[in-house]
Structure 1
Amino acid sequence: MELDTLINASVTLLVTIDPIGLAPLFLALTAGMDRAARRQIAFRGIVIATGLLVLFTLAGMTILDLFGITMPAFRIAGGLLLFWLAFEMVYEKRQERKQETTVRAVSHDEMKHIAVFPLAIPLIAGPGAISATVLLSTEMSAPLERAALIGVILGLMVLCMIVFMLAERVDRFLGDTGRMVLTRLLGVILAALSVQFVADGILAFRA
């Protein structure tokens, strides 16, 4: 296995997953939650995302072909789901958040839901990361190369966890007003990102 191939895979996945860029999104999604709840959501989301990326590394094209799904279709679907989330963030239509003085009560089911969608899918293991993983797996088809690609994925997931845990400290300085402004601002950014996903998918269909 060539070093250039491994470096290319690392850079490609780092850019598409973008752990640093996910930090403010994670903070907005878990606003008002205590440290334990936030850590649990981060861990669940990363485990799920890791499983998906490893699965697509080993059998990506086979899975998509099996269900007759094209990558442009997957990109459009992810964009639409992301737009729905952005709409709720901007207009405060998300599930009611009950806050006490310093502790927020979060149900077990709600934490599981946030960890799966939108944290794991499509923010961490989104269309871009999955498509990059599938493409890289076709170039790194030897067993040793596949193992190295999985190692890169695991390393990036550890980096995501570290970034998410550091994001907790930012919450102290924001307060209720800061969180409200941040949530709406990120909702607008997410809306633009979702439109880009859909547009890329449509252009790929027409190509």
Structure 2
Amino acid sequence: MLSNFDFQQMASAFIVLFAVIDIIGSIPIIVELKRRGKGVNALKATTISFGLMVGFFYVGDYILQLFHVDIESFAVAGSFIIFLLALEMILDIEIFKNQGPIKEATLVPLVFPLLAGAGSFTTLLSLRAEYASINILVALILNMIWVYFVVRMTAKVEKILGKGGIYMIRKFFGIILLAISVRLFTSNIALLFDGLQK
């Protein structure tokens, strides 16, 4: 497994997951939750999110097989989800509405859907169509370390970056995410067409 490790793949997967998880963009939400007196446990949120994402990363394949869906088809579908997430970040619009009940801030909305939501799950499986598992898992672990740090130090990070800094980072990674969604779509749609021609 370690023989498949590739720094460039890991770095690419890290950037994709960093943009999709978007913990920097979630800082204002976390600050608001804390202001309302809702407890946010950084370690609990990070651990549960990581467990959910790793679980889906491995079980997701079996779920696809159950519905007779190949990884390339899922990656193409995932590229649309990532495309819509990018539009949210770039255009300041809300496409994925969270209409579930907010009872405990650590689990809802922090763990789900902000950290381990539909975008993260879709991205993880979509990345499997292109990268070795070890590279994606290392990228995910590094992202979770970053998430823990940001959630724990939310107020300080917001103070350092400022609202303008958070806004600019969100826009920048929105554009990166848009480009990634296009590449994910084009590379996997080509594989699908090749499969149909055989």
TM-score bin, normalised by smaller chain: 0.5 to 0.7
Name the CA distance, whole Å, in 1 between partners of 2:173 and 2:184: 16
If the length of structure 1 is used for normalisation, what is the TM-score? 0.64
User: 1:45, 1:116 within 8 Å by CA — same for their partners in 2?
Assistant: yes
Task: Please state whether the residue corresponding to 2:22 is helix, strand or coil.
Answer: helix
Identify unmatched segments of 5+ residues in structure 1.
Answer: 1-5, 97-104, 137-148
Alignment partner, residue 145 of structure 1: none
RMSD over aligned CA atoms reads 3.7
Alignment partner, residue 160 of structure 2: 173
Partner amino acid, structure 2, of 1:48:
L
Instruction: Tell whether 2:47 aligns with 1:43.
Output: yes
Alignment partner, residue 100 of structure 2: none
Alignment partner, residue 79 of structure 2: 79
User: 1:46, 1:161 within 8 Å by CA — same for their partners in 2?
Assistant: yes
Name the CA distance, whole Å, in 1 between partners of 2:47 and 2:73: 29
Alignment partner, residue 66 of structure 1: 66
> How far has the Cα of 1:121 moved from its partner?
1.8
Task: Select which of 2, 8, 17 maps to 2:3.
Answer: 8
Q: Which of 11-20 and 193-202 deviates more?
A: 11-20
> How far has the Cα of 1:63 moved from its partner?
4.1
Residue 186 to residue 194, structure 1, CA distance change in 2 (3 Å) = same
Task: Please state whether the residue corresponding to 1:69 is helix, strand or coil.
Answer: coil
Alignment partner, residue 204 of structure 1: 191
> How far has the Cα of 1:155 moved from its partner?
6.5
> How far has the Cα of 1:90 moved from its partner?
1.1
Name the CA distance, whole Å, in 1 between partners of 2:41 and 2:12: 20
Q: Give per-residue Cα distances to partners, 1:47-79, cap 9 Å, x unaligned.
A: 2111012325xxx3x543331112221111111
> How far has the Cα of 1:161 moved from its partner?
2.1
Identity of aligned residues (%): 18
Task: Please state whether the residue corresponding to 2:183 is helix, strand or coil.
Answer: helix
Alignment partner, residue 121 of structure 1: 121
Q: Give per-residue Cα distances to partners, 1:20-48, cap 9 Å, x unaligned.
A: 66446533342312486483554333221
Q: Which has the higher helix share?
A: 1
> How far has the Cα of 1:164 moved from its partner?
2.2
Task: Select which of 5, 22, 28 maps to 1:26.
Answer: 22
Identify unmatched segments of 5+ residues in structure 2.
Answer: 98-103
Partner amino acid, structure 1, of 2:174:
G
* Paired residue total: 173
Name the CA distance, whole Å, in 2 between partners of 1:190 and 1:155: 20
Aligned residue runs from structure 1 range 112-151, under 5 A = 112-118=112-118, 120-123=120-123, 125-129=124-128, 132=131
User: 1:30, 1:38 within 8 Å by CA — same for their partners in 2?
Assistant: no
Name the CA distance, whole Å, in 1 between partners of 2:139 and 2:175: 27
User: 1:12, 1:132 within 8 Å by CA — same for their partners in 2?
Assistant: no
User: 1:75, 1:200 within 8 Å by CA — same for their partners in 2?
Assistant: no
